């Protein structure tokens, strides 16, 4: 490169640097530098083609662009973080709905303890959400191995610690579910980072991604809902990366490798617990009249409650003392006593009980708020300019969508497996904290994703 060309580039760099001094958002500087430099070089080349020498062409290009300080001030108004007020308000709305639902459906004995635990978990979760929201999410893409193996190590420690607890001392269904649900909730987020780190590595990258799924998939085979959730996220994210050509052009081969681990685990499930899964499916379809002589009392009660629910107001069947329901379809059984609602049982039935006591309007309001969040979130995902931003945000939205879908299906009386949670609304301290932190990362991507590129 000649001396004149070097001087020309130095002059362009000086101008662009002066422009960037006016931009307060440092994260926007690299993109502005790249765009303005390319624009000035193109403009300079146009003037050179008209017969000007390199120095004169550079000055003409700069003059055409305008005063550096004025241009910088204009760009400062454009390049700013975008606070996600709409989604933040939606998150706050869902949290308030959850607290109000606790007040409404629980009795006086459990209400105070439930509110206390709920407020503590919300406080911790909101702190984590704010931290993730303000954090630079691109750091995630620089340490994929650390993130993956730390997650595996923490989960392994929690499982071993839980198994070491003496029976009937500290073990509880809520503690076990908290550990198990953390596995299901964290996998899509961690897997998205693994995919990003495996980009452009061909067969090696595909195999690494497939192996990254196996530990999570194997652990979640104990619950069909969790297994289906993380497997669906795995296939969706992996397929998108393959379709985009991240690993190369042998897409059919990559798809076969991708499908091998979930198919292997499904075969293992069918061989080990196939009859049990088939029975569960029949009972979920018909809780009473199924060929197994198995009665799902709570499934029957759920359908009876929803069947008598009104558009607005309490239905004919409510969970009032002594919690007796008439189930005439069961031969020889006219009533069954349902355990009093507590923080464990209501975790999975909050939306059902809310509908029975307040009407289908309450159900519709909750679903509409979730739909607003999901639709707005999905649009935000596909506006991302970077692969990291796209996959991190998609992983969070998929986790959110599968939770809502599973919970709504369960609430309507199809009890194939217990749902994880109704995000931000139903009970579960661990689930609440993890969901809020994940939403913080999602909003961090939306807040700064416009200036992050590959």
Please give the radius of gyration of the chain, using alpha carbons only, rounded to the nearest integer: 28
Scored b (16 or more CB within 10 A) or e, 114-151 reads beebbeebbeebbebbeebbeeebbebbeebeebbeeb
Reported as a single tens digit per residue, the pLDDT across 256-273 is 999 999 999 999 888 888
In this predicted model, what pLDDT tens digit does every residue of 74-120 receive, in sequence order? 777 777 777 788 889 999 999 998 888 877 776 665 667 777 777 88
**How far does CA 340 lie from the centroid of its chain?**
32
Query: Does residue 58 register a pLDDT over 60?
Result: yes
Local structure of residue 338 (DSSP, 8 states): P
Cis peptide before 322 (omega within 30 of 0): yes
Q: What pLDDT sits at residue 317?
A: 63
Q: Is residue 321 part of a domain?
A: no
Query: Residue 454 has what pLDDT?
Result: 65
Task: Determine what percent of the chain is predicted with pLDDT higher than 90.
Answer: 25
Other Cβ atoms within 10 Å of 289 Cβ, number: 11
- Give the sign of the dihedral formed by CA 442, CA 448, CA 450, CA 454: negative
How many domains does the chain divide into? 2
Q: Are residues 93 and 178 in the same domain?
A: yes
Q: Residue 310 falls within a domain, yes or no?
A: no
User: Over pLDDT 70: what percentage of the chain?
Assistant: 84
Q: Which of 283, 323, 224 lies closest to 413, judged by CA? A: 283
Please, what is the Cα angle at 151 between 150 and 154, to 5 degrees?
85
Greater pLDDT, 452 or 187: 187
The count of other CB atoms within 10 Å of the CB of residue 414 is 17
Q: Is residue 102 part of a domain?
A: yes
Neighbouring residues of 109: CB distance < 8 A, sequence distance ≥ 6: none
Residues 33 and 69 in one domain: yes
Judged against a pLDDT cut of 90, whether residue 287 lies above it is answered with: no
Instruction: Check whether residue 215 and residue 351 sit in a common domain.
Output: yes
Q: Do the domain assignments include residue 326? A: no
CA 160 to CA 148: how far, in whole Å?
A: 18
Query: Residue 327 pLDDT more than 60?
Result: no
Beta bridge partners of 336: 325
* Between 296 and 369, residue with greater pLDDT: 369
In a domain, 56, yes or no: yes
Quick one: angle between helices 54-65 and 3-20, nearest 10? 10
Number of Cβ within a 10 Å radius of residue 437: 24
**Considering the domain boundaries, does residue 318 fall inside one?**
no
- Domain-terminating residue out of 14, 44, 78: 78
- The residue among 38, 60, 78 that closes a domain is 78
What are the two backbone dihedrals, phi and then psi, of residue 23, each rounded to the nearest 5 degrees?
A: -90, 120
Residues 121 and 35 in one domain: no
Closest of 214, 262, 243 to residue 390, by C-alpha: 243
Same-domain status, 72 and 214: no
Residues 60 and 195 in one domain: no
Same domain assignment for residues 167 and 227: yes
Q: Please determine, for residue 321, whether its predicted confidence score (pLDDT) is greater than 50.
A: no
Average pLDDT of the segment spanning 158-170? 66
Selected residue with higher pLDDT from 24 and 362: 362
Is 148 a domain residue? yes
Of 102-111, 142-151, 204-213, least confident by mean pLDDT is 102-111
Closest CA to 425 of 377, 358, 366, 360: 366
Predicted confidence at residue 1, as pLDDT, reads: 46
Residue 291 burial (C-beta neighbours within 10 Å; 0-12, 13-18, 19+):
exposed
In the listed set 15, 47, 78, which residue is the last one of a domain according to the structure? 78
Cα–Cα distances in angstroms (integers) from residue 370 to residues 184, 260, 374, in the given order: 20, 34, 6
Q: Do 19 and 91 fall within a single domain?
A: no
Q: Does pLDDT of 407 surpass 50?
A: yes
Q: Is residue 324 part of a domain?
A: no
Q: Which of 412, 418, 177, 415 is nearest to 295 (CA)?
A: 415
Q: pLDDT (tens digit, 9 = 90+) per residue, 13-35?
A: 888 888 888 777 677 777 778 88
Residue 173: pLDDT band (50, 70, 90) is: low
Domain of residue 29, residue span: 3-78
Tokens of 40: 């000035």
Q: What is the tens place of the pLDDT at every residue in 127-140?
A: 999 999 988 888 88
Contacts with 119 (C-beta within 8 Å, 6 or more apart), sequence order: 99
Residue 206's pLDDT band (boundaries 50, 70, 90)? Answer: very high
Measured at the alpha carbon of residue 419, what is the angle toward residues 381 and 286, in degrees to the nearest 5? 125
The pLDDT of residue 343 is 57
Please tell me which residue, 368 or 11, carries the higher pLDDT value.
368
Q: Which residues have C-beta within 8 Å of that of residue 192, sequence separation ≥ 6?
A: 237, 391, 392, 394, 395
Predicted structure pTM score: 0.82
Give yes or no: residues 206 and 280 share one domain.
Answer: yes
Task: Specify whether 74 is located in the same domain as 218.
Answer: no
93 and 60 within one domain: no
Q: How long, in residues, is the chain?
A: 454
Same domain, 259 and 390: yes
């Amino acid at each position: 490169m000649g001396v004149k060309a070097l001087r020309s580039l130095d002059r362009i760099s000086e101008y662009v640097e002066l422009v960037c001094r006016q931009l307060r958002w440092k994260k926007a500087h690299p993109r502005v530098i790249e765009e303005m430099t390319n624009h000035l070089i193109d403009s300079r080349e146009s003037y050179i083609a008209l017969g000007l020498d390199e120095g004169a062409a550079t000055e003409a290009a700069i003059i055409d662009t305008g005063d550096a300080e004025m241009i910088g001030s204009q760009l400062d108004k454009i390049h700013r973080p975008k606070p996600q007020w709409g989604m933040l308000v939606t998150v706050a709305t869902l949290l308030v709905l959850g607290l109000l639902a606790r007040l409404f459906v629980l009795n006086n004995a459990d209400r105070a303890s439930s509110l206390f635990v709920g407020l503590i978990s919300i406080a911790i979760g909101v702190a984590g959400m704010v931290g993730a929201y303000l954090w630079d999410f691109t750091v995630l893409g620089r340490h994929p191995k650390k993130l993956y193996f730390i997650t595996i190590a923490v989960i392994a420690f929690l499982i071993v610690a839980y198994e070491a607890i003496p029976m009937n001392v500290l073990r509880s269904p809520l503690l076990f579910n908290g550990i198990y649900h953390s596995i299901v909730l964290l996998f899509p987020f961690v897997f998205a980072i693994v995919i990003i780190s495996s980009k452009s590595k061909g067969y090696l990258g595909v195999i690494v991604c497939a192996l990254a799924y196996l530990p999570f998939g194997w652990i979640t085979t104990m619950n069909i809902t969790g297994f289906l959730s993380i497997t669906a996220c795995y296939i969706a994210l992996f397929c998108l990366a393959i379709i985009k050509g991240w690993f190369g052009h042998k897409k059919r081969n990559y798809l076969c490798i991708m499908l091998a681990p979930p198919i292997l685990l499904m075969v293992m499930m069918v061989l080990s617990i196939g009859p049990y899964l088939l029975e569960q499916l029949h009972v979920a379809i018909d809780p009473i009249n199924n060929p197994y002589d198995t009665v799902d009392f709570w499934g029957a009660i759920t359908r009876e409650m929803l069947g008598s629910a009104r558009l607005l107001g309490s239905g004919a069947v409510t969970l009032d003392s002594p919690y007796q329901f008439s189930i005439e379809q069961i031969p020889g059984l006219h009533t069954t006593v349902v355990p009093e609602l507590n923080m464990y049982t209501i975790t999975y039935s909050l939306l059902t009980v809310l509908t029975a006591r307040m009407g289908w309007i309450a159900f519709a309001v909750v679903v509409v708020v979730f739909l607003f969040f999901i639709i707005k979130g999905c649009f935000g995902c596909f506006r991302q300019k970077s692969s990291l931003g796209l996959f991190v945000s998609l992983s969070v939205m998929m986790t959110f969508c599968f939770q809502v879908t599973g919970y709504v299906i369960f609430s309507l009386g199809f009890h194939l497996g217990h749902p994880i949670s109704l995000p931000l609304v139903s009970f579960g301290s661990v689930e609440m904290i993890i969901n809020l932190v994940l939403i913080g990362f999602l909003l961090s991507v939306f807040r700064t994703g416009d200036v992050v590129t590959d």
